[in-house]
Structure 1
């Protein structure tokens, strides 16, 4: 499959310039599922040159023409949804139902931004000069580069590519080397939009041959990243040399507050599947659980019962509810986080080990830790794995203060039946997104993103297209 597609440059599929490839490993079997091309620096430079040519043709299209192209892409994605979902599960190990949902969310991004392409409006401002007027217009920023992570290999591309294309930008996609096949399927779907050659490019490869030339080239005017805070900080420094626009969704360490008036069954029934979705490898998943003293024991009991009932295995099996971690390094990291917590005094009440049911793969049991304190590593850092760390609280002020005691600010959650408490919680929590009695934050019509060390800019909603547009002012006197 990887050799059928490969790199996508100047409107065609091709191999790497030097023929180089790298194995793509299954997190389920730990064996290669294929060999993907590895772009050379010259390949990436060719993609940038092609993107410049494509930009000239694409930005000249009307918003209505771009809308038609994005709708055609969405139609093709619908036609190929079974193939795409299978590829997502093959490369990430996540359950097939979660893969199908991710592809559906990706389709929705193209549908939403197809309509936004028709609504890139300007405005007229009254001038103080007699006979004059100010015209405010918005135009594509230029070539955009999309750097995406492996945990949502389709949705993360769609969130970047769809608004970039709607705005009239050309886009160079650089996915994770762990999930190149999903990116290839999506880019192949984009061909259904009959985009001019160079408008969409795909390069896969290491930092030295992909990231470095993209960041160094002044023709690339916008970069978007989904990744770690450390990588985001470096990207900001690198972008400064050529003054690129930057938007990024970085790490999270989401708090979940269960107040004393919460609907306990609702909280448990939605928190457990959310925590262990994609084996906990989700930036917006709840990591730090704060539960009121009056509900603590019942919450822990209910959480453990539900966690132990989850079916662990190969995501391609429809009965599976949680798949493996992405690689051996992530598995080792999770083992270390749990060991550190137990050594520091946390109580392990569920999981806490590699699953003994599998002879291969990066399978780790759904894990629950209690008696956790805020200074433990499992609370202080994003664990990015299937670990629910649960602590007590006794007052609203205490819970909100502890929830805010983090440099991260991507998402935060609370369960309460009090409208007054809900409003105060939303106003107090330092986070780009807050869910009250819900974890459903990702939607094409809503702005997705964080604050502080969790990033800048937004993806989704009317806000999502803004970073791909420049604002121009003209004073016209006639």
Structure 2
């Protein structure tokens, strides 16, 4: 166990820490052992109105700050977090249960993304058009869209809060952010970094509590000019409906059900090693986690055998133990989901190659699971499992595998393994997904856009597209 204490929890509104009073509270649970980490205060209606008023004032201040000064604030926040990275890593392990090695990776990605946003603030360019009238000036410029309401999930709470905050601030926007009820301290530590970096009060507000109440209140306000959401599709649908009432633009990343096509000319040893580590990374709780493996006949048996052995070699345990390679699931809901999905698949005729059960110990531990011969009508082939379970199917013709990969209404991450350039190009062109990895699972670079198609959402985070999401385009014509 870590010696790092958990943070006291509070609302961060207009530069003030608010807790106690007559606010309702709920418990934050350590998934390793089920113990209570802290009691989290819930924002009241008055708290949310204060946050909205604060973010409106903060926007008026922040939008006038030159880009190079905005970048300097973000860079100071990153430096502050670097000095406390061990604390941030420990919070991630305490709240989510992930091994500390994975927490270090997430912190690295978070700081890289924030740093990139700081640099990109200096490169928000407009353009000048040739005038149609004598002595005219025609200018296209970009300006911040306004106060943002942001909502982040529990699975990678540092990255998904850090990059939302940094991108919005880089563009000149203010933000009210609501982290998951299960991972509030991670977001609060990032907010403290910005306060220490000199961010004016009100530019960043953090509210905690009931997600439905908070989202309805924030999105009903005309103060909010932009929404950023990462989370499950049903919640995204509801937020999109709420945002439509005020015609508020929204960026949504709604998860996926990532297919992996393994061709018979692939480097199977390398494909298996990468697939096992990425499938069970974060206990499978990743929106781009590979889940539906389609393997060509000639290499199917080899791939399955090696993948199962890799799954069996995973060591479950305390995330602070350096030998642990997979921690517990983050909450009891994921245990129930694993039980339901795997039971349904086996009932429908799937073969359970390994795992498929809850580990008999305290905490939310589930054995790494591999299923083969899973019928397409099984729930797990149609619903994102968001847990440590992989399905492996076989195919003969590449066209059939592409059809299966594209069968679902999701398209966030997708992958393929082949040593043929012609096949690689075909797969990159034909797979319907916002991101496609050929012989790699890596989408972590902050300069690359991160987003999906179809029911995986719309808009992107990261890349120049991620900054543009917080900007308006203005055309000025002068004569």
For residues 68 and 414 of structure 2, the distance between their equivalents in structure 1, rounded to whole angstroms, comes to 38
Please, what TM-score do these two structures have when normalized by structure 2?
0.97
- State which of 173, 189, 195 in structure 2 corresponds to 1:169: 173
What is the DSSP-based 3-state SS (H/G/I as helix, E as strand, rest coil) of the residue aligned with 1:392?
strand
Shift of 1:208: 4.6
Provide closer, same or farther for how the CA distance between residues 82 and 431 of structure 1 changes in structure 2, counting only shifts above 3 A: same
Secondary structure of 1:372's aligned partner: coil
Equivalent in the alignment of 1:205: 209
Separation (CA, whole Å) in 1 of partners of 2:45 and 2:207: 10
1:382 aligned partner: 384
Secondary structure at the counterpart of residue 435 of structure 1: strand
1:334 alignment partner in structure 2: 338
Separation in structure 2 between the aligned mates of residue 34 and residue 230 of structure 1, nearest angstrom:
29
Cα distance in structure 2, aligned partners of 1:163 and 1:261? 41
Q: Indicate the larger mover: 439-448 or 368-377.
A: 368-377
Measure the CA separation in 1 of the matches of 2:45 and 2:422.
56
390-399 vs 320-329, greater mean Cα deviation: 320-329
Using the alignment, how far apart are the partners of 1:193 and 1:208 within structure 2?
A: 32
| Stretch deviating more after TM superposition (315-324 or 140-149) | 315-324
Counting only pairs closer than 5 Å after superposition, residues 387-398 of structure 1 correspond to structure 2 as 387-398=389-400
- Structure 1 distance, partners of 2:415, 2:113, is 24
- Residue 442 of structure 1: aligned partner: 444
* 1:194 paired residue number: 198
User: In structure 1, which of residues 262, 266, 282 is the aligned counterpart of residue 266 of structure 2?
Assistant: 262
Which of 135, 142, 148 does residue 138 from structure 1 map onto?
Answer: 142
Q: Which residue of 2 aligns with 1:288?
A: 292
Q: Is this contact kept in 2: 1:373–1:391, CA < 8 A?
A: no
Q: State how far apart, in whole Å, the 2-side matches of 1:262 and 1:377 are.
A: 29
Task: Find the residue that maps to 1:361 and give its secondary structure.
Answer: coil
- Partner of residue 63, structure 1: 67
Question: Which position in structure 1 is the counterpart of 2:421?
Answer: 419
Structure 1: distance between partners of 2:450 and 2:439: 18
Q: CA deviation at 1:130?
A: 2.5
In the superposition, relative to structure 1, how do residues 208 and 425 fare at CA in structure 2: closer, same or farther (>3 Å)? Answer: closer
In the TM superposition, residue 77 of structure 1 has moved relative to its aligned partner by 1.1
Runs of 4+ in structure 1 off by over 4 angstroms are none
For structure 2, list consecutive stretches of 5 or more residues without a partner in the other structure: none
* Structure 1 residues 305-320: aligned runs within 5 Å: 305-320=309-324
Residue 282 of structure 2 corresponds to which residue in structure 1? 278
C-alpha deviation, 1:17, in angstroms: 5.3
Equivalent residues of 1:415, 1:437 under 8 A apart: yes
Matched residues in 2 for 1:325 and 1:455: separation? 25
Aligned pairs for 1:352-371 within 5 A: 352-356=356-360, 358=361, 360-371=362-373
Distance 1:208 1:27 in 2: 24
CA distance in 2, matches of 1:400, 1:131: 57
1:456 equivalenced with 2:458 (yes/no): yes
Query: Distance between the aligned counterparts of 1:116 and 1:85, measured in 2?
Result: 26
Mapping of residues 8-407 of structure 1, within 5 Å: 8-15=12-19, 18-356=22-360, 358=361, 360-407=362-409
Work out the CA distance in 2 between the residues paired with 1:4 and 1:421: 53
Deviation at 1:3, TM superposition (A): 6.8
Q: In the TM superposition, what whole-angstrom CA distance separates every residue of 1:248-292 from its partner, at most 9, and x where no partner exists?
A: 110200000000100001101110010001111111001100000
Partner of 1:432: 434
Asked if the contact 1:2/1:37 (under 8 Å) is kept, the reply is no
Contact 1:348 1:369 in 2 (8 A): yes
Q: Alpha-carbon deviation of 1:159? A: 2.0
The 8 Å contact of residues 409 and 451 in structure 1, kept in 2 or not, is answered as yes
Q: 1:5 to 1:26 in 2, by over 3 A?
A: closer
CA 30–243 in structure 1, closer or farther in 2 if over 3 Å, else same:
same
